Amino acid sequence: YPLIMRDATYTWDRTMEPVLKNITVSFPKGKLVAIVGPVGAGKSSLLSALLGEMEKLQGQGSIQGSLGYVPQQAWIQNMTLRSNILFHQPMQESRYRKVIKACALESDIELLPGGEMTEIGEKGINLSGGQKQRISLARAVYQDADVYLLDDPLSAVDAHVGKHIFEKVIGPKGMIRKKTRILVTHGIHWLPLVDQIVVMDQGQITELGTYEQLMNHNGPFAQFVKTYLLEHEDEEIDDPDVQMLKEQVLERVTSVVSDDECQQLRRRRSLSDHHEGHHKSEEAVQISQNSAVSSVSLQDLAVIKPDNVDGKNHRLIEEETSEEGKVKTAVLLAFLRAFGYVATAVVLMSVLLYNGFNVGSGVWLSEWTDDLFLKNENNSGTDSYTSKTYMYLGVYTVLSLLQVAANCVFVLLVYVQFVVASQRLHNSMLDTILHQPMSFFDTTPLGRILNRFSRDVDVLDVGMSRQVRMCLQFLSTIISVVVVISYTTPIFLAVVIPILIVYVFFQKFYISSSRQIRRLESTTRSPIFSHFGETISGASSIRAYRLKEEFFKESLVLVDINNQCAFASLSTARWLRVRLEALGNLIVLFAGLFAVISDNISGSLVGLSVSYALQVTNALTMVVQNITLLETNSVSIERIVEYTVLPHEPAWTDINKQPPLEWPYSGNVVFENYSTRYRPQLELVLKSLSFKVHAREKIGIVGRTGAGKSSLSLALFRMIEAAEGHIFIDDLDISNMGLHDLRNRLTILPQDPVLFSGSVRFNLDPFEIHSDEALWMALKNAHLSDFVREMSGQLDYLCEEGGQNLSVGQRQLMCLARSLLRKTKILILDEATAAVDLETDFLLQNTIREAFKDCTVLTVAHRLQTVIDYDRILVLSNGEIIEFDTPEKLLADKTGLFYSMAKESSLVQGELD
């Protein structure tokens, strides 16, 4: 037994209740074991415990051999498709091709612009959910591991693709048939084909055995299977094997269940007012192997293959650019605007006053020491002596106090206004980022954005304020030194001017290199952030494949590349400092020399001159260094300002074009000659669409890969703007209103659930509009209230970022509850129940039909069974409308595209050759 758990109890956090309790199970070598159970039963947690991701409170757990892991939410790296599959393993051409074929990826690769060398965007943004899952599976299969942990990999793919993958990869005849396979699944039709079934509920194993044993036992598992099959008794499945299996199970069911119970189950079905087309997808299978491979996915691709492909088109993520040469004046003006023109004037005035009072106090002190009356000891103790001493002391004190006051104003104003300027630029950058269209995030890695919000803002907050203060302070000190020394020994000007010219030469020579090095340092830091975020999100997969060292080394390589730039920056700074100190020593030498050979100046002025000259070495060095650092660090301002002037998406609100509060009134949707593209340089993804959806109509949107289904839902929310044409909702053109006014009136339930870091209450009702009673009712209708009531804090229970402390099914139910609260007239569904078990799916479909019966529902369907009972079906191909009619009429046309797709999905019986 390569996997053994004995009386094991696991938790995610020792301060919380155990998630898995008293688990005792052994997984036999080379067998296929299915783990089943309702949402939140602990199925994914059991795999996490086997991976060592959870804390063990008691018992034993061991795993032997190498691991292959397919998480429920596929983890995709920002690299080529091939690299995602190889995953640090050497390329073996024959095995690679077998894996690609077995995982039904051949047709997808053909559609990608660069084939298998196409760069996959961050988190796989340019792939469908099914494609990401199949790449994740291909990665695991290619590793040739001893044990495979498969967390519901079949729910995100079409039914015929699911059968293909089961047969060619997971099942008794698949590529990994000799390996130990642990499969979490909601597909009831796979269970007779597995060697053993583990039934879980509320973190415990409730039943364990083969399919035959569990059905004969007549426990909760058998009861659910019988209920499900009896309710679907009169549905025929075209696949002979599955149909035969179903008939055998029904025969057994009717033999062990009483006639009254059978009648009761059938009566329950007859009272249901909805079709079970959605659930037929769980049993739908293909007629032939070829159809599974030729049409691998019905989900849209965000990347459309152009007619002519070159190497540059393989990249989705744009290279980070950097400016060259001096920082542009416009950038510095943008910073001055943020700093404040008045504040700039006050800062300059205060630093000049500070040094003026500083020089004045020094000159006044020299006058005091040269006063002949005070030098005469005979005058000591007289009233005149005392009054003159107090006069000198009073003026010197006033000058010193004014110097302190001016310095305080200068220093405080610099630091305070830098914080203000930094905050203004940060907020401006944040506002711009929030107003960016989705195409910006498709082509910009998260690390690049984080780099600007972290490192660049930090440079502005901390580094530049100090550099500006020191630069202005020492610059005014140099001016004071030059004035004082020139006043005492005018010949000094003949020396100091050439020296200053050499200073400027060194500074110019240094700054051109230093500035560009800093730009390189900034751009090489972004990949560190991106790699770090990617590693964190895929930590469980990295640990499962035992690739921690490889990722650690990759991180070190990225850090080393960045440190090369940092080292070059430090080296050039040291080069400059050595030369500046040599020039500063020359100034001290000449100042002392001229003071000694001059006969016509007093000793006090000589002392003043030499003392100031001793300051100039450090002052000149600090000025040149800080001016250089300012110029170099201005690259951070440059990068921040770059993100404050990006083109915005259209306005969020338009006071002059706000729709009425009751809009949309009924939910009519009209597309009028509508075309759109993702980005200006790309081809049209929707072409001249014209159709009308009536109020309360239920429309299914189907099509092959790249047809434009997802693009259509994005167009309704104006995530992508029209290239031509219009969309009208209840007679209002959506292009003439603010984005918030539009998006607030629509609801979408996506395939990938989105939750935020915060309480359950915040995730359901972020704007605090609804009462707690309404929240509980929404949770009840979403079949999540029992789970929330069991949590500490209930509605105040904290969801982690992305809902990581919830199962994928629970996250989807949470999103459904949020949708129920919105009560909009138009709902867009995108295979929203793929991650829940069949029983919950039953209930959710009823909830959706009841709660949204007066709404217009547009369902982007990856499985035709989901929409087969809808009012009408919109069939797209290559961004164009091919068919739009009722399902019955579309199926009657055997030459139509919908009929051919239905035949591939085994919804209709095709003619056999």
Query: 255-301 pLDDT, tens per residue?
Result: 444 444 444 444 433 333 333 333 333 333 222 233 333 333 333 33
Is residue 300 domain-resident?
no
| Listed residue (621, 659, 653) closest to 474, CA to CA | 621
Separation CA 193–CA 828 (nearest Å): 36
E strand spans, 186-272 = 196-201, 204-209
Separation CA 73–CA 458 (nearest Å): 34
Are residues 189 and 52 located together in one domain of the fold? yes
Provide the β-strand partners of residue 95.
none
Supply the range of the domain harboring residue 491.
329-644
Are residues 447 and 568 located together in one domain of the fold? yes
Residue-wise pLDDT tens digits, 404-456: 999 899 989 988 888 899 999 999 999 999 888 887 887 787 778 888 888 88
Separation CA 699–CA 117 (nearest Å): 37
Are residues 266 and 213 located together in one domain of the fold? yes
| Listed residue (168, 169, 170, 163) closest to 184, CA to CA | 170
Are residues 261 and 210 located together in one domain of the fold? yes
In this predicted structure, the answer to whether residue 733 has a pLDDT above a threshold of 70 is yes
| Listed residue (477, 802, 467, 748) closest to 632, CA to CA | 467
Is residue 577 domain-resident?
yes
Separation CA 722–CA 674 (nearest Å): 7
**337: phi then psi, degrees, rounded to nearest 5:** -65, -40
Return the SS3 of 889: helix
Is residue 881 domain-resident?
no
Query: Residue type for 308, please?
Result: N
Is residue 101 domain-resident?
yes
Query: Is there a contact between 904 and 291 (Cβ–Cβ < 8 Å)?
Result: yes
| Beta pairing class for 856-860 and 758-759 | unpaired
| pTM higher than the cut 0.85 | no
Query: Residue type for 870, please?
Result: Y
Strand order in the sheet with 196-201: 67-70, 147-151, 180-184, 32-36, 196-201, 204-209
Is residue 667 domain-resident?
no
Are residues 31 and 55 located together in one domain of the fold? yes
Query: Is there a contact between 721 and 713 (Cβ–Cβ < 8 Å)?
Result: no
Are residues 628 and 556 located together in one domain of the fold? yes
Q: What angle do CA 771, 773, 774 make, to 5 degrees?
A: 70
Among 771, 802, 822, which residue terminates a domain? 822
Residue-wise pLDDT tens digits, 606-619: 776 777 777 776 77
Residue-wise pLDDT tens digits, 168-216: 999 888 898 889 999 988 777 788 888 999 988 888 888 888 888 888 8
Of all helices (H) and strands (E), which one includes residue 157?
Answer: none
Is residue 796 domain-resident?
yes
pLDDT average, residue stretch 856-883: 83
Among 85, 119, 144, which residue terminates a domain? 144
Q: Which burial class, exposed, middle or buried, applies to 412 when counting CB atoms under 10 A from its CB (0-12, 13-18, 19+)?
A: exposed
CATH of the domain at 47: 3.40.50.300
Are residues 62 and 99 located together in one domain of the fold? no
Question: Taking phi first (over 0 means left), then psi (-120 to 50 degrees means alpha), and beta for anything else, what does residue 42 get?
Answer: left
Separation CA 728–CA 585 (nearest Å): 78
CB atoms within 10 A of CB 612: 22
Is residue 476 domain-resident?
yes
CATH of the domain at 622: 1.20.1560.10
pLDDT at 468: 86
Is residue 116 domain-resident?
yes
Q: Which residue has the tokens 């009712």?
A: 777
Separation CA 157–CA 161 (nearest Å): 6
Separation CA 496–CA 478 (nearest Å): 11
Query: Is there a contact between 790 and 826 (Cβ–Cβ < 8 Å)?
Result: no
Are residues 162 and 261 located together in one domain of the fold? yes
If you compute the radius of gyration of the chain from its CA atoms, what whole number of angstroms results? 37
pLDDT at 692: 93
Instruction: Give the count of domains, the chain.
Output: 4
Q: Which of 127-131, 235-239, 330-334, 887-891 has the lowest mean pLDDT?
A: 235-239
| Listed residue (10, 30, 12, 5) closest to 20, CA to CA | 10
| Listed residue (307, 323, 315) closest to 442, CA to CA | 315
In this predicted structure, the answer to whether residue 679 has a pLDDT above a threshold of 80 is no
Are residues 149 and 132 located together in one domain of the fold? no
Separation CA 525–CA 863 (nearest Å): 43
Are residues 236 and 340 located together in one domain of the fold? no
Among 294, 320, 352, which residue terminates a domain? 294
Are residues 392 and 496 located together in one domain of the fold? yes
Are residues 74 and 113 located together in one domain of the fold? yes
